[in-house]
Chain A
């Protein structure tokens, strides 16, 4: 009954540090997504993967990279963290035209 699992749940970084946010789903979904949530702005799409081996930029991709490692896993990497990237990050997965299933998020603070 895991659904979408995100790790870590919390992280504090210093400006310039790098890190990778992990996401895994066990629902055999083809599509996976990374969003960031900021107060008063809803969720904004960072990157999207329609299937294993493909990725596409979303609304706010600058400063991020992604890897679709296999069908289950989709990671988000911050190469050089900036305070503007302080946010809550959500991973989601779905099949076409069906509701997306979300993880519980990673709360990231960059000092």
Chain B
């Protein structure tokens, strides 16, 4: 069975500072990894994905994530946080065979203070 862990319920960062939202995963097979963001009363919006290739993936709104196979991690990063980045962030994983449905982490709330 596949699983995703987001160890922090909330991350607080000052505007202009770098941010990191952590994610680790467990799968049997090659992982496909995704980050999504959710704003209040909205569905999830795709930020970035890792399927194969470069371990550093760049996505929307200046976000990036680094795939680390040995540590089974896929942490989300941004060099300079904006107040508008405040939202709920979800890491998700699927595998390259079978159903390919996503398994989500429990989410991390990012709060960027002015």
- Closest-CB distance, B17 to chain A (whole angstroms): 26
Contact between chains at A104 and B96 (CB < 8 Å): no
Contact between chains at B96 and A56 (CB < 8 Å): no
Number of interface residues of A (CB under 8 A): 25
Segment 69-108 of B: residues with Cβ below 8 Å from A? 90, 94, 96, 99-107
A33 and B90 in contact (CB under 8 A), knowing A99-B34, A104-B42, A105-B43? no
Complex: how many Å from CA A39 to CA B49?
24
In the assembled complex, B41 has its CB within 8 A of some CB on chain A = yes
Number of interface residues of B (CB under 8 A): 25
Nearest B residue to A94, CB-CB = B100
Question: Which A residues lie within 8 Å of B90 (CB)?
Answer: 42-43
In the assembled complex, B14 has its CB within 8 A of some CB on chain A = no
Contact between chains at A99 and B46 (CB < 8 Å): yes
Interface string of B8-50 (1 = CB under 8 A from A): 0100000000000000000000001010100001111110010
